[in-house]
Amino acid sequence: MTLNKPTSQMFPWVDKTVNPIRGRCPHQCSYCYVKDSRAKHLYQDEPHLVESALGAIRGKGKTVFIGSMIDMWADDIHGGFISKVLARCQQFPNNTYVFLTKNPGRYNNFFFELPPDTMLGITLETNEYENDFSEAPDPAARAWAFAGLPLPPYKLTKFVSIEPIMNFTYPPLGHIPPSLDDLIKDIKPTFVSIGADSKDNKLPEPPAQKVSKLIERLSEFTEVRIKPNMKRLMVEKKEGGGKR
């Protein structure tokens, strides 16, 4: 069995993806690309571990994204499944393993099972509490849980994915939730990746001026990686739909 080549532009710096945990993602995000993918039939049942797929985790010198099609850290995922995946990663310690979640508090339960070269990420689409697009924990709770992770005695990269970016607020100082950039600053990420909706999911998206302001603020304390699909959001539109 071979590793899967990435089929999306989620993270162009990833070499390979592998999904040993499959089934219906508990978060049920309306914009999830899996529902339109050719592999969607593998992600409709209860979450389960495909033991044979663990063999795809192997080799060395690769950046491997584990769980690109389901949030394997969601509360409804059996902890034994996660432990088996991490144990397999430990057998091939010369790869860099990438994990991404909307439930970073679960990382704490497996912190000492992580492979020695790990990139841990969270998704923050916005800083607003209420939305009808996902059943995941609210963004502020995600950020605070991620910021509180202990420092490990090995190599760990923390990153934030703002994708798909949705409209966000700049509340007054001391307001709950804080601004999106303040939430991220407390995390102290190595980098932030920003991407837009690649489908027509009718999401509430921020205007160009607000996007530019966010990028400027983030750039003051971390590296910002802007994905190509952000181009359409970064061009300010004239009244009536034209472009400047």
Whether cis (ω within 30° of 0) applies to the bond prior to 177 is yes
- For 107, the domain range is 16-233
Helix (H) or strand (E) holding 193: strand 191-194
Q: Could you read off the pLDDT tens digit of each residue along the chain, which spans 244 residues?
A: 334 444 445 799 999 999 999 999 999 999 998 888 888 898 999 999 999 999 999 999 999 999 999 999 999 999 999 999 999 999 999 999 999 999 999 999 999 999 999 999 999 999 987 667 899 999 999 999 999 988 776 778 999 999 999 999 998 877 888 999 999 999 999 999 999 998 888 899 999 999 999 999 999 999 999 999 999 999 865 444 443 3
* Angle value at C-alpha 38, between 35 and 41, nearest 5 degrees: 65
Ramachandran region, residue 147 (left: φ > 0; alpha: ψ -120 to 50; beta: rest)? alpha
2, part of any domain: no
174, part of any domain: yes
Residue 129: both structure tokens together: 């509490």
3, part of any domain: no
218, 181 Cβ separation under 8 angstroms: yes
Total tally of structural domains belonging to the chain: 1
Which CATH number covers residue 116?
Answer: 3.80.30
Query: pTM value?
Result: 0.91
9, part of any domain: no
User: Within 13 A of 240's CA, how many CA atoms are on the CB side?
Assistant: 2
d(CA 155, CA 117): 5
